[in-house]
């Protein structure tokens, strides 16, 4: 069967994303200095940008400029170009910065490519796990070379649910209130510190579900596609897509009651 132009584009985008993620991951893993410094803060004093975040983004954007110079780029550490090809790369050069800063293993490089607003390719590379999760729209999800699949939906009370917290104190306090009311109703709550990895953990069955308020597109773009291609439903508030307001991911049968409960708890507002 002859490959279509769409198939060829997806294949090229996947190859580029994998190469960029693997190179950036190796750089971050092997180049982490013992005296790693904080280059700046973003939303608050505890929201850090490390020297390595910035260097990783430069590595990725340099490769993209060489391979696909007409594409747009949206990156966490400031990359923002329009491009003329209709393709936009959405990159988090180091998701889980605080984990990385402290020497914890739950961090990843997240790279997605979207065209006309639709995500076509997603790659999340977690070097300390030795894992690369990837997905192409309509072609399924994989962890390394194995197919990724969500767990069948458990009863709500048996669900292991991942979440995260923002950097602003007032938002964290509100998120803690929501967790405090949710945790007696589910099996337990996990907080890993990397949204991209959490979404991949739903895709691979390590979490039954995940939700978080306050994510940015670079946090969820790749992981959202990977989770969906592994069989999860994703969204925000009922009827809304994933957004900065709220991100929810879970298999059918668990997604609906979790989303409804989060709506009742007001998880979508501070």
76 is in an annotated binding site: yes
224 is in an annotated binding site: no
User: Of 100, 104, 97, 75, nearest to 216 (Cα)?
Assistant: 75
Token digits of residue 203: 């895709």
User: Of 250, 228, 85, nearest to 152 (Cα)?
Assistant: 250
Contacts of 90 (CB under 8 A, 6+ apart): 74, 75, 111, 112, 113, 114, 119, 217, 218, 221, 222
Tell me how far apart the alpha carbons of residues 119 and 228 are, in angstroms, rounded to a whole number. 11
Identify whether the C-beta of residue 168 lies closer than 8 Å to the C-beta of residue 44: yes
Token digits of residue 191: 């907080």
Tell me how far apart the alpha carbons of residues 4 and 9 are, in angstroms, rounded to a whole number. 9
215 is in an annotated binding site: no
Residue stretches of the annotated binding site for Mg(2+): 76, 92, 94-95, 219
Residue stretches of the annotated binding site: 76, 92, 94-95, 219
């Amino acid at each position: 069967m002859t490959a279509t132009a769409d198939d060829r584009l997806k294949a090229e985008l996947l190859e580029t994303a994998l190469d960029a993620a693997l190179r950036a991951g190796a750089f971050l893993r092997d180049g982490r200095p013992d005296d790693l410094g904080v280059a700046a803060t973003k939303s608050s004093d505890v929201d850090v940008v490390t020297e390595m975040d910035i260097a990783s983004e430069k590595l990725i954007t340099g490769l993209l400029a060489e391979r696909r110079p007409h594409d747009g780029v949206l990156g966490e550490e400031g990359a923002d170009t329009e491009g003329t090809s209709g393709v936009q790369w959405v990159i988090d050069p180091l998701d889980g910065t605080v984990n990385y800063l402290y020497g914890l293993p739950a961090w990843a490089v997240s790279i997605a490519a979207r065209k006309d607003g639709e995500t076509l390719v997603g790659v999340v590379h977690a070097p300390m796990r030795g894992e690369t999760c990837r997905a192409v729209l309509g072609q399924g999800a994989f962890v390394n070379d194995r197919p990724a699949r969500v767990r069948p939906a458990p009863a709500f009370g048996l669900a292991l649910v991942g979440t995260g917290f923002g950097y602003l104190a007032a938002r964290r306090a509100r998120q803690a209130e929501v967790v405090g009311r949710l945790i007696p109703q589910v099996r337990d709550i996990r907080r890993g510190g990397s949204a991209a990895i959490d979404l991949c953990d739903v895709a691979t069955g390590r979490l039954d579900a995940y939700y978080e308020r306050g994510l940015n597109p670079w946090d969820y773009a790749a992981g959202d596609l990977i989770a969906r291609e592994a069989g999860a439903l994703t969204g925000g508030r009922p009827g809304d897509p994933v957004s900065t307001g709220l991100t929810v991911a879970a298999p059918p049968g668990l997604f609906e009651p979790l989303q409804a409960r989060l709506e009742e708890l007001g998880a979508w507002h501070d």
